[in-house]
Amino acid sequence: MKKTILIPTDFTVQSLNVLKTVLANNTTNLQFDIVLLHGVSLSDSIRDLLFYSKAKQIASLTNPEFEEAFEVIKNKFDSQINSMRIDLFTGYNQAAFNNYLEGNRVEQIVMTNQKLRLTNSKSFNLETFIEKSNVDVFVINAGEVATLPEKGKLAEVFFNHAQVG
């Protein structure tokens, strides 16, 4: 059994908590195709568009801690993950988003009730699109956010514990 899920991300270790929770609470032998989606608007400059590369933009948005944590989770839940990728959504309207969901055959969207922290000025929040979409949305309670000494570091991924429900 395979299932494609979409998780909005802001490239912080904290945002991977959703992913960890989903995978940790999966008791069936379901295999996931995971899309970590980040909303970012395209540049207006024609030159930028000419040399636009999605991989390059993703590389500029991520940070080593995020990538390490991403790999740690991937290694932990190896058997449950069929594929996992980071993608950018560059559309402007609901139709584009619905189209994206349909094109990628997304069956479920998983998100937290916690606000994403968008550090890049071009990034935008996907929440409004997600709310209006016709795909099943599953919200995870992020719990209380304590100030931890390891804030922003890889270590954070080990100590995030969210509840399902």
Partner 1 sequence: MPIKTMKRQSRTILLLLIPFLIVIFSFSIFIYYSVSNYSENYFFKLLEARAFKVAKEQLDNEEVVDRNVLDKLSFSEKLPHEKDFFIPIDDAIDLTFEAQRIGIPENFLRNVVKNNSDEYVSERYLYKGINYQSKSGKFIVITAAENYFQLNQAENLIQTLLFAIVASILLLLYIALYFSKNIFKPISIITEQVKEISSENLHLRLKDTNRSDELNELASTFNDMLDRIETSFETQNNFISNASHELRTPLTAIIGEADVALSKPRKPEDYIESLYIILHEAEKLDNKTKALLFLAQTGFNGKVQKFDKVRIDQLLWDVKENLESLNAKNKIHLDMELLPENPMKLKVNGNQQLLHLAFSNIISNGCKYSDYDTVVVSIGASDDFVYVVIRDKGIGIPENEIKYIYDPFFRASNTKNYEGYGIGLPLTRNIIRMHNGKMMVTSLENQGTTVQITLPVWQP
**Which residues of this chain interact with partner 1, rule CB under 8 A?**
20, 24, 68, 71-79, 147-151, 153-155, 157-159
Of the pair 3, 76, the CB lying nearest partner 1 is at: 76
Find the shortest distance in angstroms from Cβ 126 to partner 1. Answer: 27
Find the shortest distance in angstroms from Cβ 99 to partner 1. Answer: 34
Of the pair 46, 146, the CB lying nearest partner 1 is at: 146
3-state secondary structure of 2: strand
Residues whose CB is less than 8 angstroms from the CB of residue 144 and which lie 6 or more positions away in sequence, other chains included: none
Find the shortest distance in angstroms from Cβ 76 to partner 1. Answer: 5
Give dist(CA 73, CA 165) in Å, integer: 21
Segments of 42-80 assigned E as strands: none
Q: Is 7 in contact with 89 (CB distance < 8 Å)?
A: no
